Amino acid sequence: MVEEKEKAPDFLLMGSDGKKHALGEFKGKYLVLYFYPRDDTPGCTSEAKCFTGSREEIRKLGADVVGISKDSAESHEKFRSKYGLNFLLLSELDSKTIKAYDSYGDRGIFGKGTLRNTFIISGDGKIMKIFRKVKPNGHDREVIEFLKSVK
């Protein structure tokens, strides 16, 4: 199980922008890396829209937001376009990264799948904070409050 203060697992994943992205790209700033079950579903849409509305405030605190799910890069781009999302979504079809971040497991009546977890990663690649079993509405505010506390 990944823990706070440990080195964050690396990844190389296809983005909604059609490019591959790795953890190292975010070196020198905080990364809000959040895992979510599926594009264009009620909870996932709500969470993404909250992060979109708060992205500028998050950026002013020295962080960027990236979402990861098992959806394809094409699905991600449709999701971004439909709701005006203003941050990168990464596609993780084989669940390797999702599992490396302990974000795959039992989702109750929905069966096994991606869990709604968020990781705040420091500029040197260490996990600073883990939010598990996130409630979509208002989670962006929890992230902002944490970022303010470490500034």
Q: Which residues are catalytic?
A: 44
- At which residue do the structure tokens 């596609």 appear? 91
Instruction: Report whether 102 contacts 84 (CB < 8 A).
Output: no
- Angle at which helix 139-150 crosses helix 42-60, to 10 degrees, equals 20
Cα separation, 27 vs 63, in Å, equals 11
Q: How many residues does the chain have?
A: 151
Cα separation, 149 vs 49, in Å, equals 23
Residue 113 pairs with which residues in a beta bridge?
105
Element (H, E) at 121: strand 117-121
The candidate with the shortest Cα–Cα distance to 110, out of 36, 50, 48, is: 36
